[in-house]
Chains A and B, each alone.
Chain A
Amino acid sequence: MRKGVIRPGHVQIRVLDIEEAVVHYRDRLGLIEVGRDAQGRAYLKGWTEVDRFSVVLREAEEPGMDFMGFKVLDAAVLEQRKLDLQRYGCQVEVIPAGELDGCGERIRFDSPTGHYFELYAEKEQTGKWGVSENNPEAWPEDLKGMRANRFDHCLLYGDDIDGTSELLQKVLGFQLSEQVVDRENGNLRVAAFLACSMKAHDIALVRHPEKGKFHHASFYLDTWGDVLRAADLISMHDIALDIGPTRHGLTHGQTVYFFDPSGNRNEVFTGGDYTYPDHQVITWDASQLGKAIFYHDRQLNEKFLNVVT
């Protein structure tokens, strides 16, 4: 049952060099740079996103993800989810409005996989970038690079993915859309894909010995042609390619993976399945993991499985 959590709203990513990172996310991915704050963090968004920002870059000594935030319907939902999270046993911290420029109060909480998540109800709504809300044109003409539409989801690595999945499902109303199960190992769940919307996933979790790891942040493109064009840009700018272009078995999205200049993995993708509340969970067998991840190659790739920040 949905509980008023409407979409992934932001991700704060740690980078080794802020200027290098801004060039990558702005000029290569094509996000819109909307500002910097007093701490030196850079704020960006995909052009179709209505809120002020969705990606925050923070210069640090170790790359990785600081936190991922989800937007909720309104202040009453935010307050109720805060009480629910406290009752569930999460460490809950209230971050005052304005700590992120243009964002209202945030409820930050920990999770069994060691990741930090946030909920918020208010963020300055500046509208889609470059198009009007009245009789809008199809797209703005002066987009850069891959012309990423929006921040779409994250894939996170950690140990207790059953614990984090249960937290997201029971307290925040996410739906398990797909999973990978190891039938030769007591039906151990090795991956969980969860949605708070009708997308194939809004967050994914993969079992990994270490807590709190970041596999990738993903951005949505319009077409398979745009995915191929993104791969062209990866070559033109000598960006570290990970894998693709290809199709996933899981969620059936069409995709290419690469790394930012600090080694954080990015995905741009298009297409994929959808999730209605009455849909049954789709299960992939771990013995078919190669095909589940890379539908064409059907080969497991050590780097894709083990390289994280």
Chain B
Amino acid sequence: MRFSVRLADADESFSCTEQQHLLQGMQAFRIGVPLLQVIPVGCRGGGCGICRIRILSGEYEARKMSRKHVSEQEQADGVALACRIYPRSDLAIELLPLAEDDNKQK
């Protein structure tokens, strides 16, 4: 299955299969479709927090990601790292900055 991922804040979209995380979908080459570089790409392992987004609508599977960048409450509210999100329907997302508490925790 191939789903559409729409960036609500940039009015752009890319497609992503259910086996791809969102960054793989964004970076996949398709003839005639320009590559989008709208979500920052970092470690791609749920660790660095660079690709932090909010999912505004749609169904998805979330794999384990660093609690430093996405708290349990935030995750319940749709915050996620794009490299750990596998779509299960069309999605609408927005970009988020790195977690604001990055420096407060220390």
Contacts and interface: CB of A to CB of B under 8 A. Distances in A.
Interface of A: 16-17, 61-64, 114, 209-212, 240, 259-265, 303, 306-309
A263 B44 contact: yes
Nearest to B48: A307
A259 B46 CA distance: 11
A62 B67 contact: yes
Q: Is the interface of B mostly helix, strand, loop or mixed?
A: loop
Given A16-B65, A62-B68, A210-B102, A264 B47 contact: yes
Interface string B43-54: 111111010000
B103 interface: yes
B70 to A, nearest CB: 10
A259 B103 contact: no
A143 to B, nearest CB: 25
Given A16-B64, A16-B65, A61-B66, A209 B43 contact: no
Contacts of A261: 45
A308 B64 contact: no
B42 A303 contact: yes
A45 to B, nearest CB: 23
Interface residues of B, number: 18
21 contacts: A16-B45, A16-B47, A16-B64, A16-B65, A17-B64, A62-B66, A62-B67, A63-B45, A63-B46, A209-B103, A212-B106, A240-B43, A240-B44, A259-B45, A263-B43, A264-B43, A303-B41, A303-B50, A306-B50, A307-B42, A309-B66
A21 to B, nearest CB: 10
Given A61-B67, A210-B102, A210-B103, A307 B45 contact: no
A264 B45 CA distance: 8
Contacts of B106: 114, 210-212
Contacts of B102: 210
A309 B67 contact: no
A191 B64 CA distance: 33
Nearest to A259: B43
Interface of B: 41-48, 50, 64-68, 83, 102-103, 106
Contacts of A259: 43-45, 47
B48 A263 contact: yes
A259 B42 CA distance: 9
A101 B47 CA distance: 27
Contacts of A263: 42-48, 66, 83
Nearest to B47: A263
Contacts of A16: 45-47, 64-66
Nearest to A21: B45
Contacts of A64: 47, 68
B41 A262 contact: no
Contacts of B68: 61-62, 64
Contacts of B66: 16, 61-63, 262-263, 309
A17 B47 CA distance: 12
A64 B102 CA distance: 13
Contacts of B67: 61-62
Contacts of B47: 16, 63-64, 259, 262-264, 309
A61 B47 CA distance: 10
A174 B59 CA distance: 53
Contacts of A306: 42, 50
Contacts of A264: 43, 45, 47
